[in-house]
Amino acid sequence: MLVLLHLFALFLLVSLGFYVFVANPRNRAHQTFAAFIAFLALWTIKDLIFWNFREGGNVSSGWWASASFIIALLMQCALVIFAWVFPENSRMPRGKAAVLFAPGIVLIPVAAFGLLWRRVGFSNNQFEIELAPLAFAFVGHVYLVFAYGAAVLFRKYGKYRNTQKGQQIGAILWAVGITGVLKTLANIVLPFWGVYDFLPFSAIFVLPGVTIYAYAISNFQLFSLQTALDQFRLFPIAYKIALSIATVAILSFIIFQIPIVWWAFRDGMTFEAWRKYLVFSVVSALVPNLVLVLLIVRTFSRPIGRITVAAVQVANGGYGTEVDLRKSNDEIGLLAESFNEMSRKMADDIEQLRQLNEQLIRTEKLVAMGTLAAGVAHEVNNPLASISSLIQMMQAHKNLDAETSEKLKLISTQIERITHVTKDMMDFARVRPAAKSSVDVNAVIETSLRLASFDKSFQNLRLKKTLAENLPEISADNDQLQQVFLNLFLNARDAMLGDGELLVKTSDSNNRIKIEIADSGNGIDPKNLKQIFDPFFTTKQTGKGTGLGLAVCYGIVTAHGGKIEVSSNENSGTTFCVVLPAGENAVS
């Protein structure tokens, strides 16, 4: 019965220490609690061996007494360190620790050499111990350290009273008090009066206090179902390692060790039996070790290797590379998920930077070409006006022959053409501030379509409108937007040669108005899509366009905080997409 109680106590202590430590392994309080539990586990193992498998003689009893004194002192040292670091997770004051723990440098060797008792052992199957005077000094120092740790905790309890930290410290004080009273009764008071019956159960008496201790340090969530579910859901690697080792050890013991012991010692504990046991135990140990290696490779090496390969690919420019791992909630799973998210964001950020760089280059081109266009147009218009005046004066003569009149008419036509080009250049170069007001995009589109319908070629197109209802108004310059849409409609007319289908569609998403204008023309060569908004770039025949219309549209849309994009349709034709901000940017 006693051995079962000791095993239960040992299992509970290890479970509590492991649970609290893994919950926050970098926290000093959790680390100190784990150390305290480790000393208690050693105390329990000591009692398990001594009281259940004791051998006669003073030697076997002496090691138990030495271990009891030493472990008792170490437990109180761990308690004091915990009192120093909890709940602030502060550092241990090394000066105070050196002063308080210094006597242990002498007392521990004294206990190890058996100088704390005159006699210890069993007499008539009854345990007895006669202490030396030095033992009382040892016990006094142990209780001094214990009292100091309790005083530190009590002072912090007053500091954090009426807070959760105060409640935690209060519960720990109760745990310390309960454990101290029970241990004192079982190990000091009753043995002093010759009652040793409760001494074997001292390891059991610490369990209530330790359980309260763990319950408090875990924010009173030790027995919470939600906490257990969260731990199972997150299931850190440390749990996996511990469970893997424990599972393999237990299974190897049941599958291999028990049959080997039965087979080797069935005829008695002879030299040959021991030889069989040792040889086959070593051989059987290889199997669980190989299983552990396999589990470690599968759990750690393979996922980390894949993450490493993906990281190298990203470092070499493969932005957006993702790690293909089975989803898990442990540290490696979270690392892989975070890496994938980082890689995706990096790829998105680089693509946005590329687009911003292209937009910046295009804007710089627009500024430079605008300055150049204004200068060229000004220099051309002055002599052109003089030439046009001379032509008109020559055409006013009545004695011109037909051939001369025809040549003057041809010259006048070319002058008008040049004037048109310079006018476009001046319009492109002129920077006019937008007169923004509250604008209905659908109404601007309807007006632009009505203006375009005066063109006979445009009238031959099959027009399809899908204008969303209840579009939010936007803050924009009505005339400038009309110029953008009219230009896009006329470009679509030219692309379809006056025979085709024109689709105009509006929609609203996330406070942004989207306008799509698609034609069924010949489309644009993919290699020209990136240049389509550059000044003076045109795909029209010579004399049919100046290449400034789309550049002007680009400047107007970007000035309104929007964007304009172009793409080729799957079958034929081109789609222009204009996106403009609405919502908080609209004028109320």
3 state DSSP class of 572: coil
CA angle, 383 then 384 then 388, to 5°: 120
Amino acid at 51: W
Mean pLDDT value across residues 303-321:
84
- Region of residue 268 (phi > 0: left; psi between -120 and 50: alpha; otherwise: beta): left
Cα(292)–Cα(195) distance, integer angstroms: 48
* Residue 342, token pair as written in the block: 């980082």
DSSP-derived secondary structure letter, 432: -
For β-strands 117-123 and 126-131, DSSP reports them as antiparallel
* 354 or 570, greater pLDDT: 354
More confident residue, 112 or 434: 112
Q: Are 331 and 236 in contact (CB under 8 A)?
A: yes
According to the model, what pLDDT value does residue 537 have?
57
What is the C-alpha separation between 76 and 101, in angstroms, rounded? 10
The Cα 361–Cα 470 span in angstroms is: 37
pLDDT tens-digit map of 149-159: 999 999 999 99
pLDDT of 225 reads: 47
User: Which of the given ranges, 254-258, 396-400, 450-454, 463-467, has the highest pLDDT on average?
Assistant: 463-467
> Who has greater pLDDT, 222 or 196?
196
d(CA 561, CA 544): 31
The predicted-structure confidence for 414-450, as pLDDT tens digits, reads as follows 777 677 666 665 665 555 566 788 888 999 999 888 8
Domain 2-231 matching CATH 1.20.1070.10: the answer reads yes
Decide if pLDDT at 73 tops 90. Answer: yes
Output 286 or 173, whichever has higher pLDDT: 173
Q: Please write down the HEC assignment for all residues of 78-134.
A: HHHHHHHHCCCCCCCCHHHHHHHHCCHHHHHHHHHCCCCEEEEEEECCEEEEEECHH
Residue 501 backbone dihedrals phi, psi, to 5 degrees: -120, 130
Q: What is the rounded end-to-end Cα distance, in angstroms, of the chain?
A: 84
When pLDDT is cut at 50, 70 and 90, the band that residue 534 belongs to is low
Rounded mean pLDDT, 117-139: 86
Higher pLDDT, 536 or 381: 381
Q: Which residue has the higher pLDDT, 384 or 374?
A: 384
Q: Is 237 helix (H, G, I), strand (E, B) or coil?
A: helix
pLDDT of 16 strictly over 80: yes
Fold that domain 434-585 belongs to in CATH = Heat Shock Protein 90 (3.30.565)
What percent of the chain is predicted at pLDDT more than 90? 15
Q: Is the pTM of this model over 0.95?
A: no
pLDDT score, position 588:
40
CA 518 to chain centre: 41
Nearest to 463 by CA among 516, 418, 500: 500
Measured at the CA of 26, the angle between CA 22 and CA 31, to 5 degrees, comes to 70
Model confidence at 379, pLDDT cuts 50, 70, 90, reads: low
Q: Kindly tell me the burial class for residue 154, based on how many C-beta atoms sit within 10 Å of its own C-beta (0-12, 13-18, 19 or more).
A: middle
Q: What per-residue confidence (pLDDT) applies to 482?
A: 84
Tell me the per-residue pLDDT of 350-371, one tens digit each, with 9 for 90 and over. 887 777 776 666 666 655 666 6
Burial of 1 (0-12, 13-18, 19+ CB in 10 A): exposed
pLDDT of residue 154: 93
Topology of 329-431 in CATH? Answer: Helix Hairpins (1.10.287)
For residue 76, is pLDDT > 90?
yes
Residues sharing a CB contact under 8 Å with residue 362, sequence separation 6 or more, in sequence order: 533, 534, 554
Q: What pLDDT, on the 0 to 100 scale, is given for residue 385? A: 76
What is the model's pLDDT at position 449? 87
Residue (of 509, 506, 504) closest to 441 by Cα position:
506
**Domain residue spans of the chain:** 2-231, 235-318, 329-431, 434-585
Q: Where is mean pLDDT largest: 295-299, 325-329, 578-582?
A: 578-582
Residue 304: name the closest of 331, 324, 332, 329 by CA. Answer: 332
Count of helices and strands (H, E) across the chain? 21, 9
Nearest to 129 by CA among 186, 196, 72, 205: 196
| DSSP code per residue over 333-393 | HHHHHHHHHHHHHHHHHHHHHHHHHHHHHHHHHHHHHHHHHHHHHHHHHHHHHHHHHHHHH
pLDDT digits (tens, 9 = 90+) for 162-188: 888 888 899 899 988 998 898 888 888
> 57 pLDDT band (50/70/90 cuts)?
very low
- Residue 152 CA, chain-centre distance (Å), reads 39
- The mean-pLDDT minimum among 230-239, 346-355, 456-465 falls in 230-239
The set of residues, in sequence order, having a beta carbon less than 8 Å from that of 363 and lying 6+ positions away, is 558
Q: What average pLDDT does the structure give for the chain?
A: 80
> In the chain, what's the furthest Cα-to-Cα distance?
157
pLDDT the model gives residue 450: 84
- Check: CB of residue 232 under 8 Å from CB of residue 199: no
Mean pLDDT of 515-531: 78
Q: What percent of the chain has pLDDT over 70?
A: 82
pLDDT band at 134 (very low <50, low <70, confident <90, very high): very high
Of 49 and 1, more confident? 49
Most confident of 296-305, 371-380, 404-413, 539-548: 404-413
Of the given ranges (131-135, 238-242, 259-263, 312-316), which has the lowest mean pLDDT?
238-242
Residue 300 has what DSSP assignment? Answer: I
Tokens read off for 70: 């030493």
